[in-house]
Chain A
């Protein structure tokens, strides 16, 4: 039943993706397979968020009907929709890219998959610190056999016994624990291996999403496969799979999906990509609160690059003047999707749910540099990022990759402000939150690096090349 449940989520998510992006591009099946699982899982959790204070068993049929409904609706709309005018570039035959390197890559991926699955299946849940937030809520619901409201300790103490559940991360979004609760509702009780299973599936799903996304941008198989292997073998990625229970890899995967959709703007015709992009933005804060910030940054990147160049740079200049406005004592309100209004004022930022963060410089550069460039968590990624950006930024700004890079620059700025100006600096020093937040953009950066490096090879041939407001037909089709 669990595997069927995971399959159904994938089918529903893949249907939504096919509807949004069309299925004509290279690698579309991979993208639908990987992205479909991620999207379907989070979508199910978000849908089940409408059910409050219900018995665990009551999740079963609404969840099932929801997934079947999404799958059927997508299928129906696909059948009715006008056929896409986009045609896929013809992929090169396997032999032209070298069959043996591809087989070697596949073998390494299979080896990694086997080793990780063995650990996910064997290791116990690590239920403390940041790892406590998501599975702890799930287990509380499953043991109580009821989705009681999760509250902080003080509220739990004040409430009548048995009416609430005390959870360390009570205010955290519930899409993941609810989707997991749906799986466990069919099982009937707590099962640690079953609770870990979606993380084991997330690993290949992220790989398929990465591979499919790159193939969709006409990156050759070998380069796409190698990028996929490098991403999936990053020590922090494997750690988040093996020590199942944390939400960051889910958030990172959905951010990657949103980024890939963003890159299709202006090339895949119709309302599909914008609608799918909007779905991703709505779902991001359902995984983690930080998702609201990323959604805001993605939305800003998408909007900015639809504007005429003069207006775009004027707006960027206006944002650059923000520190001056704050210094003059103004309060600036910025909407964060799913979170509410973020109030910026001189020396402080006020976030809904999280509270007021005092802003001043914290000397954590050494700890951050150690995490990025010395410890093995990210391998050589953060060495490669500045090198490739410096070499390619001029070309990239004039290409379809520009909004993606703008988003990643915005995310970098967000991390910089968070760790160098707020109390989160303490988490930079103990390497906990720092690594987890950087992980959010790791898949996106990995894919972006591959696209930047492959730009010469693919621009003007199979991809559409430089950014244009109105789509041009593919040159090679």
Chain B
């Protein structure tokens, strides 16, 4: 039964409406607050927001602290997230028009957050007129922008090579790292006979699948045809109709010889760190910048070393994969785009590039000779100096679909669900999509 006291009267309605209005205003002011932190002014200064990958935090922290001394009125608020989460979040923010002033961007093409996907959409600020760009090696410059302009900063080049356990090599009677493909196979066989796993392969973590093919391709597919990436873009070559089949055949040669750990598809990246660190496995083909977790897993840090993956038949023909690191771009729609560009210009100084590169175990893009690179990178610097490097292949693929198709395809290859021709066909299909 409804009594008088529970009936709604006009004043109750006004109260409800008033409360809702207060609620909405509260929400509104919340947005305003976050606006002011992302771009507003604080006591006459400017606050710039910066979002980057977790692995780069060690590089950003000292640089941001140093910039406070250079530009005291600029405060940089940094936040970090793992790569895949960051890419997702940034793309959503870019779509919604509330991206940070400065954010991580990836060189070349091939992923949804790569600079050649962002620049044509007008989302990143043009920094072509900055002086540091002149010092970037010619071959790498196009990867930092699109259609002849530069849109992002990157500090370094990250080579892919072999992280190996010296003790396992010694125990198997190997005195120095292999220099040719045949030596590699012979050494791997020795390691296997000594009861150890030659290669720790963690294909369960998707991005790991690409490392071995990338290590093999520069000395095979790209040695046959140095312009392969461009030829593929021009539709003159394809995965099927190029040296890529050699890449995957060599991959399968290693697998069929039993040189991988048991069940590579069920093994994770983290498990490979344990395998190599603990000496159960001898080698992991990796981006050298991933050295820290391997060192953390090692009983004795001096057990671990690096060498270039010897994919060529002779040492002087060897070329290595070296990709420009993820870097930083300024949002074109930021209220403080000029301040953000000034920060990027400052980052371009050789000493700042060196600081960042050293902290992230990679080789500085500018002034590599003068900078004291980490010993684990020493085996790779001669290849950069003599231009015997090939950029990471996905940085020159035309869309964001080839790379995931490559990840899944390698897993299928190892699982026996496809063969080399099948994989090449899948990759060509992904490549030809819009």
Is B a genuine binding partner of A? no
Q: Point out residues on A near B: beta carbons under 8 Å.
A: none
